[in-house]
Structure 1
Amino acid sequence: MQSILKKKFIIDRSILFWKVKELAEKNHQPNRGAVEFDHGSKLSWSPDSKAIVIYRATDCEIEVFKVNKKPEGGIAIQHALKFPKHHTLDLVGFGIAANGKFIMSCDSEGDLVLWSLKGAILHQLHTKLSPAYCAKISPDGKLVAISGFTPDVKVLQVCLNKSGDFEKVVRAFELKGHSSGVLGIDFSSDTSRAVTVSKDKTWRFYDVRVEYEKGQEPYLLKTGEWPFADLPTQVALSPDARSIAISHGTKIYNYDTVTGANHGTPDVHNGDISALIFDPESRFIISTGDRYIQVLHNVAGCYAIINELQPKRKTAATTAQKERIDQLINQAKCVLQKVGEKVEG
């Protein structure tokens, strides 16, 4: 279900479910659910797409809804559970681990909580990062990263026992090198790469595929300049780790991790961008900020494919490999030509 639905919050207390396959149709309509007497500021799908979890903005409570398919078609949601109230502030991080073993919430004072799916607190940690700016669960569900006013990002390992149940939280590693607070962090889909953006007006791109259990630290692969030093800022790393999207206010900056070049866009919203992600295939950047969801071509990702694969074409061992490389390069060039970029060859 996650592959065919988009979701958005607006302050009319509704949750809207969109079938992506129908968006090209003239009269496509969303399915609507309601958050009673409140609205949600954060949302996360369960790994099996049978539930959504929201953070109620006014009540500061976590609520679980079951997601059901209607017999006549469409989606319906039903209240299932409210967690005991814990936070009293806005959240800077929220989500369900891909392995389904825990839910993470972290508020702006750096109070990090791991919850069971039934609402029991598994682990609580005050990270001493007040103010905290961002908290993310890695796509493999093994790591939780938290950034704040310090120049280093804390990355924790969530350990499970042999039965697959929560056991403990330990230090994994830190992402170092910035000279000021880190505004955001994100991971690639296989958790092999990470990106950070800082108040020092730089972004840093890391190899985090290391044996951190043995004390190995991540490697810095590339760094680049970014023109701002404050919030509101969102950062996303493409699933294939070839491109980065960083928003500030109403603009999105789109960086190529192969060369570090910026292929940014002009204003894309009428209000500050509040969420920023890539689609699973790294083809599009998806943003929210006003009452609309914007879907943009990942221009930097196309340039990264060309810059990465052109040298490999010369050393391709077989005709089949060369043909596959040519196909990917030509597809990237077609997208760039579609959006008005000048492409050589």
Structure 2
Amino acid sequence: MDLSSILALSPIFLTVLSGIAIIIYFSKKAVPSHESSTGGASSEAAGDVSASTNASKPKKKPEKAPPHRDSKFKFSHAWLSSSLKGHNENVLDMSFSPNGKYLASCSSDRSVLLWQTRHFAEREHKSTRVNVEYDHATGVSWSPDNHALLVAKFNENRLQVYKLSKKPDGVLGNPQVALTFDKLDDDPLVGSGISSSGRYVMSCSEHGRLTVFDLKGAVLAGTDTRQVTVHAARISPCGRFIMSAGFTPDVKVWEVVFTRSGEFDKLSRAFELKGHTSGVLDISATPDSFRMATVSKDGTWRLFNTNVEYRIGQDPQLMQSAECGDGGTATRVAVAPDCSTVAVASRADVRLFSAETAELMATVAALHTGPITSLLFDPTSRYLLTAGDKHIRILHNVPGCRVNIQVMKDKLAKTTNSTLKERLNAQVRELQAFLDSLKE
């Protein structure tokens, strides 16, 4: 091709090249204008581009979370007596020994820790560790003699007893597996315990299989709670009753009957706690079982007088009821042993009500980094314990103190007995001095 031919074709080439350049220019300009006009679609497009880019890169191994990732969270409150720190993962259940000297707590970190209650007010808290090998406990309870623990194992889905003995320093320890119960089925256990009488052991599964064992693990009786899903099952502190709360709005209470000679007789329906309009999530009772408290998905808690002649058909009587104040999210309830206060846990908060008037007396918020999993008063009613992460909070029961002061003042106004007046005045002064020490 000669020079004249090339020169003849050059305008055509220039035209083509100019067209290509114009197309490329406007195609680049179109991308941002499309993104600004479509909003969400542009985000998806960007996500696709990002995903394709990330896919071409080698994936980084996820960084391990620090062992104490919530260590920066520091709860403080005027009523906080102390916090028990020893577990590495979430605390799932707590139980006081019958003599009140120890608290047992179990966690998903495969341990049960034993704490001495006499050290609660101190800054440092030593504990004795019980290892749950290849598993973790979801529930823990004490034997009446304070020398054995019953744990509900999560993976194996059965009960196990650990025998404890005193160490040279007099502290309980040296845990040894004494008995492992047979696994009944694959239905997860949601409740277990040893009766305070020491006569029987109870377990209840999520779908309502309630079983009573003797102390050697033999099945004495069983029944279906017929509650679709069971949320909580407990032995009453007096040891006579088994309480079951679940999907249905009524709490069912059974009596475990023994003969005068101490032999097991039967598992008999005693009474029901009625009145809620939705499923019941938790239940609690006073040491004599004369009062029982419930909390429900309907957003209320109820306190019943259960000191009734149920054998002749007398029903429990409703004493108090109130809204929990958080839209039905409350999941745990505890009634103080002296029946002064009712505590209701919702998410990571606790509300304290007067058992005398149902008045909301206080709300303690953000106790834990997660939802509260366990809630109970100590045997003296002076402290309220909560668990919701790997720590246990011990709070002074200030509302209970105020309720008791008012109850005593009411008694003072009615009594004419000088000895009783002197005793009541002394108790009022003692409780008021305690409140003053907390600047309440």
TM interval, short-chain normalised: over 0.9
Matched with 1:69 is 166
Distance 1:95 1:219, change over 3 A: same
Aligned-residue offset at 1:9: 2.1
**1:77-226 pair list within 5 angstroms:** 77-226=175-324
Query: For the residues of structure 2 that align with 1:87 and 1:285, how far apart are their CA atoms?
Result: 35
Q: TM-score, normalised by structure 2?
A: 0.74
Aligned to 1:12: 109
**Matched residues in 1 for 2:126 and 2:189: separation?**
30
Q: Which of 306, 315, 321 in structure 1 is aligned with 2:414?
A: 315
Aligned to 2:27: none
Alpha-carbon contact 1:195-1:204 (below 8 Å) kept:
yes
Distance 2:227 2:388 in 1: 26
Question: What letter corresponds to residue 410 of structure 2 in structure 1?
Answer: P
Of 46, 57, 80, 2:143 maps to 46
Distance 1:69 1:168, change over 3 A: same
State how far apart, in whole Å, the 2-side matches of 1:21 and 1:139 are: 22
Q: Distance in 1 between matches of 2:222 and 2:329?
A: 26
- Kindly, what percent of the aligned residue pairs are identical? 38
User: 2:162·2:176 contact (CA, 8 Å) conserved in 1?
Assistant: yes
Determine which structure has greater relative contact order: mean sequence separation of CA pairs < 8 Å that are 6+ residues apart, divided by chain length: 2
TM-superposed deviation, 1:71:
2.8
Q: 1:284 maps to what in 2?
A: 383
CA contact (8 A) 1:277 1:286 kept: yes
Structure 2 CA distance for partners of 1:339 and 1:265, relative to 1, 3 Å: farther
Q: How does 1:319-330 map to 2 (within 5 A)?
A: 319-330=418-429
Could you tell me how far 1:5 is from its partner in structure 2? 1.4
Tell me if the contact between 1:32 and 1:76 (Cα under 8 Å) persists in the aligned partners: no
Q: Which residue of the partner structure matches residue 30 of structure 1?
A: 127
Structure 1 residues 187, 24: closer, same or farther in 2, change over 3 A? closer
Q: C-alpha distance in 2, partners of 1:299/1:58? A: 40
- Residue 333 of structure 1 deviates from its aligned partner by 2.9
Unaligned regions of 5+ residues in structure 2, if any?
A: 1-96
Report if the CA contact (8 A) 1:198-1:229 is conserved.
Answer: no
Q: More deviation in 148-157 or 2-11?
A: 2-11
> Deviation at 1:89?
3.5
| Counterpart AA for 1:65 | Y
Shift of 1:41: 0.9
Q: Runs ≥4 in structure 1, deviation > 4 angstroms?
A: 23-28, 229-232
> 2:346 maps to which residue?
248
Q: Is the 8 A contact 1:259 1:304 kept in 2?
A: no
Aligned Cα RMSD in Å? 1.8
Gaps of 5+ in 1: none
TM-score in terms of structure 1 length = 0.93
Conservation of the 8 A alpha-carbon contact between 2:298 and 2:328: no
> Which structure has more strand as a fraction of its residues?
1
Q: SS where residue 189 of structure 1 aligns?
A: coil
Partner-residue secondary structure (3-state), 1:264: strand
Distance in structure 2 (CA, Å) of the matches to 1:187 and 1:234: 13
> How far did residue 217 of structure 1 move?
0.9
- The CA deviation at 1:181 is 1.3
Check 1:200–1:165 CA distance in 2 against 1; reply closer, same or farther (3 A cut): same
Q: CA deviation at 1:334?
A: 3.3
Shift of 1:337: 3.7
2:176 aligned counterpart, secondary structure? strand
Distance 1:206 1:6 in 2: 27
Query: Aligned in 2, Cα 1:221/1:113: closer, same or farther, shift over 3 Å?
Result: same
Post-superposition offset of 1:79: 0.8
Structure 1's 232 and 199: CA in aligned 2 closer, same or farther, altered over 3 A?
closer
Supply the distance in 1 between the matched residues of 2:124 and 2:355 (Cα, whole angstroms): 39
Q: How many angstroms apart in 2 are the aligned matches of 1:62 and 1:332?
A: 42
Shift of 1:329: 2.5
Deviation at 1:56, TM superposition (A): 0.8
